[in-house]
Structure 1
Amino acid sequence: MTTVPEVTDLFARLASQLKTLNQEQKQEEEEALDHSISMFNQSLNLNNNEDSRVRVLDTALSLMCFRAPQVFNSVLECLVQTIVTVLSSSISCQVFRFQKDEVLQVGSSFSRQDCTELVEACADIVGKLEGHGVLAQMLSCAVVRVVISASCYRYLLPSALVLDSKSIDGRSTAVSQLLCHLPREFSLENHEIPFRLLSWYLDPLTLKHDVLEILQDTMGRPFICLNEEFHERMDWRSTIVCLVLSPTMFIETRALLHRWLLVTGLALVQEFLTKFVSVIVDVISRPTRWGISVELGSKLPFSNAYFPYNHHLLRTLAGPLSSESFLQLTSSVSEPAALKIRRIDHKSSWALAINFPDWFCFASILLFSEESVPDNFHSKFKLGTARIERTHDLEPPSYRAAAARYIAWILSPISKSNQDLLVDSLIKISESWMLKCSVSHDKEADKKQKKPNFHHDKDYTLKEEHDFRATGLWLKEFQDICMWYWNYSTVNTIASCEAKSSCGLNFKQNQLFRRIPLGILIGCLNHIYEDGCQMLLHYAATGRILQSTEKKSTKLMHAKWSSVECEESVRWTDKCNKREAVAGACLVFSLTDAVESMSVSLFETEESGLQFIFRVKLRACKYLINCIKRLIQLGIDEDGVMVLMDLSTRLVKWKHQGQEVSPVDKDIDDIINSLTHKLSSL
């Protein structure tokens, strides 16, 4: 068995050769030749016997007219290959028998204390090998493989076992010096472990750095399409593939992002975490699309290796949307055993559920559905009506109550009393919307009005204005319930120890709360007009309620409407700042993506799904166009080329999702051309 002194002795000989090389380069080449040949002989003959055979070799090399640099390079290459061979031979695989069981044991013969000495010795040498081809990489990679094969080495790096702070800094510096010589290129040739993954095992802080670098890159790009970016950018894709190759590292990364979410409460972190989990699931299911060979892809572990906690719940969350699955999901999170475990860490069922936001959106649709919903919307939903034939044995309130329960659990995962209170409030506000819809429906039936369209005749304008005001009144009622609930829940849980760990959730939860009414826009399209849709979207994006551009009329506006806290009677886009316009455009893009994703499960035919997407886009397009026009007016080009490119790319993609919205195609094309012109001028 190779010992540490033997390996470090080889490192010392290599260091001696490098030192000699630096000294001899300052002398004449002719004077250095004899000495370099002699040193080469000594390296090959470790016992340093000065016998006749050595002198014969000296003479032979001299007669062959070797130049000094060639001899030095041969010495270095020979020593490095010797060290690499010795280190590689220390890693073994054997069967360990314990009583009647057999365990496969893979690891290095070096202890973790030995590995610390190896890292420090290698760090002193590897930097001096620059300029000598791949020798530095060969040596550093060999040491890293040995180190990560030694049990628990990486837990020595946080220095909990080391008392001397100078020694701690020295070890961290040595590891950093070693890691900087690992190649960053990504390759899966010969099924070797990628160097990026090796660096994570050597120092987990490099994993944090790589993930944080991607997150920071997305923070200044609000319109970035993360799914496509993860696939197109090779450095990002290599990170994703390495995480798939190591379920342990994926679990730690997801836990890290979840902790950041709890601390910051940023919706951006939540969106990044959601896309991150979605991409990992996609790589597991379609490895060849991500550059993983069929052979290697067949060896990837099952999903339970990546999601070891609540894996039974994952099967439902990652599966197709249906009302039956939704009831099962709600039942599982409402079980007494689940309610007793009031955790929100990365191991909790709540942490898993928030990574699949389509179910929250689906719950919002069910909350405002007028009748029972069948297992699939099928063709009955292709016209966007909320009146769906009953084909299920359960009573209508069962779906509404289940939807309210699921939403309440997502918004308040650690307090059962708060959940119960929120369920009651959501059902009441849902009934309030149903009452508004039924009144509008009865009036239309009495007047035998035709279906609304984009031809704004007098009757349509009056109906739209009435709908806008009625929607504003309902949103004010919804907002009041929101504020009352959050004030109550904050006071109710302020002394709770669990609440302290979720101090950063308020901002994210408020955003989720504001998105609940979007279920109306998706599922009740025949009961809301274009301006009402704009009001719902603007409230979900900014938390503000729009006011009609028409002058207030005492005949149409009663006291309750006058209490709505809105802007003055001017165009809302003139009051909208850049942050709100960005939030509005991003909301429409994400909503359309969610609808497109849901349509695959909710409809039997592709045509029905495309019509569904089209109707949602039809209601959201005016708001999207207004937001982007406002951004252009406020100077979106000042935010940089990448932001403009992302916005243009997302808008082109949005135009082709589902069916194109022909009534506004020209407006969209004009905006795309305007963005293209700005890009060409930068």
Structure 2
Amino acid sequence: MCFAAPQVFDSVVEYSVKTIVSVLSSSISCKVLPFEKEEILRIGSSISQRDCLEFIEVVNDVVSKLDQHGLSSGLLSYTAARVAVSASCCRYLVPSMHVLDVKSIDRRSTAISNLLCCWPSNFSLDGHEIPLRLLSWYLDPLTLKHDISSILQENMRRPFLTLSKEFYERMEWRSILLCLVLSPIMFIHTRALLHDWFMLTDLGSLLELLIELVSMILDVISRPICWGIPLELGTKLPFSNAYFPNKDHLLRTLSGPVSSSSFQQLVHATSKSVSLVRKQFGPISESSALKVASVDPKSVWALAICFPDWFYFASVLLFSNNCFQNNFQLECTIEVPNFGQTSDMEQPVASAARFIAWILSPNNKTNQDLLFESLNQVSECWSLKQIDSGTRERGVVDYWKKLKKPECFDSKEGFSHGNKYGCQAIGLWLKEFQRMMKYGVESTDNSSNREAESYNFVLQNSMLFRRIPLGILIGCPSYVKEDGFELLLHYAATGRMLHFVSNNARMHHVDEFNEKEAVAGACLVFTLTDIVERMSASLLENEKSALDIICQVKLGASRYLIKCIERLIELNIIEDGNVMQVDLHGRLERWQHQGQEMLKLDRDLDDAIKCLSRKLSLL
């Protein structure tokens, strides 16, 4: 049998590469080695961190020559990456001493970039090998930051994306998510990165991505096969406490269904945590170290904001008073630990106010107490309005009782119980809400006027602060007219109050939305509907009742949503219009199918969807 010279050459190169790969793979081990009179525990590669840079450069040179001759270099690149990741920068002497290898890394970034550019882009979990993307994160943490930044930029550029859908359907995003699942430490770094960015910017898109990422991680580890993870590998995934260290008990409460008993546990756990942290830092309760520890990525607060349904549940309790709890058969008192309170038992409204105040001001006890008092006053103000209108005990109770009856809701008729608050009443209350909160913050004796004004400005422009009144729309939507819905939704979305004028016995706002406001308003309606859908599934007795409350919220919010869409169509959604219109079209169709069928609402939505479809056909 004869072989041509090129065949011999290719065969020699192939087996040489396989030999190199085999040697490199065997170099990764855990050994105890003698060192003078001591012993060294070596974990990882036999190639030290000092020699790692030179090793990567040599591999890059070999890979480039293989590519020039059209030979496969993927296996060599992958094995070299594993060796580089396994190279430790420390040698630990048994039993106690350690020696740190220190060397300049000026050329490291360039060498790693050259190695990474040779890797294939496909993602696979077959063979239980470490994914190349995950190895790249270990080699160069900036690649992780780049991957997360690309998702964030896409989310900001396309605000109507459904992140959960994109994480499942986009292979690029799914591979990033699954790599985070396979490496809890990388997820912890990612969550800390997004948390720090949110603390610096207060961008809603950042918080949205952080919330969705946490939700997706929990979803993947609970049902890995649905995400394409092989059964054998799925059974080896870590438990949730690996991704959220030392927060396992709190995580079970936060990730579980919304309920009164769970809210009790949450208030108890967060209050206890605040008390323990303050004791840890001693008598100087407002020290800089305490303020940082209260909001750092490892804090209880950082975990709580990743589960926003509890914030909205607290806002519902704040404005619904006893009628809401009675109709859901919720307990009337909530136990809290004694950390400055005169009683160990609180009414739900007080506990809701305490929880919201903690979310809004986790690192300043003085501001937190003032917010607590102001929120209680706001709750009382809303309750008095209900009493004055004669609807508090008659209308709200009848409304929720009606929802509990299986054949209560007729989408053609809608709800018409009690007196409804229009834009004038809601506008007056909203101004009172702002005044009470501002007065409460500025009434502190321990802060200068400049500090109080600065904090009040930050608070009034906080996305979470503006969304407190949404509890009214979630808890008692039948007592707010459509124009009242518009006022509350626009304030929650933009921080600006609309101005209304009377026209043929109806109120119409005279403001024109700019593109940013119209996008924010439409996104908020979609978000609010998703929140109501999740909460109603947990709180209401049957699916029919849950569908009813979703429909009621959609009916109230539909006019505002359609106005936002019409404004976007009018503005031609100038920037990246075709992509945004496609996203909006898909989001609208999804929103249309949430809850029950409603003929009038469906007709209005169909018109908006058809208008978007016509514009898309012209692109």
What does residue 276 of structure 2 align with? 337
Matches of 2:477 and 2:350, distance apart in 1: 22
* Aligned positions of 1:128-143 closer than 5 A: 128-133=65-70, 135-143=72-80
The equivalent position to 1:279 in structure 2, one of 197, 216, 222, is: 216
Shift of 1:70: 3.2
What does residue 322 of structure 2 align with? 371
What does residue 347 of structure 1 align with? 298
* Aligned positions of 1:137-536 closer than 5 A: 137-152=74-89, 161-162=102-103, 168-335=105-272, 336-340=275-279, 342=291, 343-371=294-322, 374=325, 380=327, 392=332, 398-441=347-390, 467-485=422-440, 492=447, 506=458, 510-536=462-488
What does residue 489 of structure 2 align with? 537
Report the secondary structure of 1:184's partner residue.
coil
Shift of 1:373: 5.3
After TM superposition, the structure 1 stretch with the greater mean CA deviation from structure 2, 399-408 or 536-545, is: 536-545
Report the secondary structure of 1:368's partner residue.
helix
Q: 1:316 to 1:442 in 2, by over 3 A?
A: closer
Q: Is the 8 A contact 1:373 1:392 kept in 2?
A: no
After TM superposition, the structure 1 stretch with the greater mean CA deviation from structure 2, 129-138 or 397-406, is: 129-138
Shift of 1:195: 0.9
Report the secondary structure of 1:516's partner residue.
coil
Q: Deviations over 1:329-357 (max 9, x none)?
A: 11222232144554211100000000000
Shift of 1:202: 1.2
Q: Is the 8 A contact 2:21 2:79 kept in 1?
A: yes
The equivalent position to 1:89 in structure 2, one of 19, 26, 35, is: 26
After TM superposition, the structure 1 stretch with the greater mean CA deviation from structure 2, 238-247 or 661-670, is: 661-670
Matches of 2:317 and 2:514, distance apart in 1: 33
Q: Is the 8 A contact 2:188 2:243 kept in 1?
A: yes
What does residue 29 of structure 1 align with? none
Are 2:524 and 1:587 equivalent residues in the alignment? yes
Q: Deviations over 1:491-547 (max 9, x none)?
A: 939999xx9xx99x9479621111111100110123222221111111111112223
Code of the aligned partner of 2:361? S
Code of the aligned partner of 1:428? Q
Q: Is the 8 A contact 1:257 1:273 kept in 2?
A: yes
What does residue 66 of structure 1 align with? 4
After TM superposition, the structure 1 stretch with the greater mean CA deviation from structure 2, 74-83 or 487-496, is: 487-496
Shift of 1:309: 3.5
* Aligned positions of 1:116-135 closer than 5 A: 116-133=53-70, 135=72
Report the secondary structure of 1:429's partner residue.
helix
Matches of 2:152 and 2:211, distance apart in 1: 12
Q: Is the 8 A contact 2:53 2:107 kept in 1?
A: no
Shift of 1:577: 1.1
Bigger relative contact order (CA 8 A; separation at least 6): 1
Q: 1:276 to 1:160 in 2, by over 3 A?
A: farther
Matches of 1:367 and 1:252, distance apart in 2: 35
Q: Deviations over 1:198-234 (max 9, x none)?
A: 1111111111111111111111101110000000000
After TM superposition, the structure 1 stretch with the greater mean CA deviation from structure 2, 264-273 or 514-523, is: 264-273
Matches of 2:583 and 2:392, distance apart in 1: 45
Shift of 1:571: 4.5
Q: Is the 8 A contact 1:371 1:390 kept in 2?
A: no
Unaligned ranges ≥5, structure 1: 1-62, 97-103, 154-158, 381-387, 554-568
Report the secondary structure of 1:550's partner residue.
strand
What does residue 283 of structure 2 align with? none
Q: Is the 8 A contact 2:321 2:349 kept in 1?
A: no
Matches of 1:443 and 1:486, distance apart in 2: 29
Q: Is the 8 A contact 2:159 2:519 kept in 1?
A: yes
Matches of 1:514 and 1:584, distance apart in 2: 13
What does residue 614 of structure 1 align with? 551
Report the secondary structure of 1:492's partner residue.
coil
Aligned CA RMSD, in angstroms, stands at 3.6
Q: 1:649 to 1:494 in 2, by over 3 A?
A: farther
Q: 1:507 to 1:652 in 2, by over 3 A?
A: farther
Matches of 2:390 and 2:412, distance apart in 1: 20
Matches of 1:662 and 1:489, distance apart in 2: 53
Code of the aligned partner of 2:481? Y
Shift of 1:326: 0.9
Q: Deviations over 1:380-418 (max 9, x none)?
A: 4xxxxxxx6676466996100000000000000001111
Q: 1:578 to 1:134 in 2, by over 3 A?
A: same
Aligned residue pair count: 568
- What is the percentage of aligned positions where both structures have the same residue? 53
Matches of 1:132 and 1:508, distance apart in 2: 64
Matches of 2:394 and 2:488, distance apart in 1: 25
Shift of 1:454: 10
Unaligned ranges ≥5, structure 2: 34-40, 91-99, 280-289, 336-344, 403-408
Code of the aligned partner of 1:370? N
What does residue 509 of structure 2 align with? 572
Code of the aligned partner of 2:166? E
Q: Is the 8 A contact 2:391 2:419 kept in 1?
A: no
Matches of 1:250 and 1:443, distance apart in 2: 47
Code of the aligned partner of 1:472? G
Matches of 2:501 and 2:324, distance apart in 1: 37
Matches of 1:578 and 1:201, distance apart in 2: 41
Code of the aligned partner of 1:360? F
Matches of 1:486 and 1:678, distance apart in 2: 48
Shift of 1:641: 2.2
Q: Is the 8 A contact 1:119 1:174 kept in 2?
A: yes
Code of the aligned partner of 1:362? F
* Aligned positions of 1:94-105 closer than 5 A: none
Q: Is the 8 A contact 1:578 1:630 kept in 2?
A: yes
What does residue 284 of structure 2 align with? none
Shift of 1:601: 1.4
After TM superposition, the structure 1 stretch with the greater mean CA deviation from structure 2, 544-553 or 668-677, is: 544-553
Q: Is the 8 A contact 1:372 1:394 kept in 2?
A: no
Q: 1:604 to 1:415 in 2, by over 3 A?
A: same
Shift of 1:585: 0.3
Q: 1:574 to 1:318 in 2, by over 3 A?
A: same
Q: Is the 8 A contact 1:472 1:535 kept in 2?
A: yes
Q: 1:322 to 1:205 in 2, by over 3 A?
A: same
Shift of 1:361: 0.4
Q: Is the 8 A contact 2:160 2:580 kept in 1?
A: yes
Q: 1:373 to 1:160 in 2, by over 3 A?
A: farther
Q: 1:277 to 1:506 in 2, by over 3 A?
A: farther
Matches of 2:542 and 2:497, distance apart in 1: 37
Q: Is the 8 A contact 1:323 1:373 kept in 2?
A: no
Q: Is the 8 A contact 1:115 1:150 kept in 2?
A: yes
Report the secondary structure of 1:369's partner residue.
helix
Shift of 1:127: 2.1
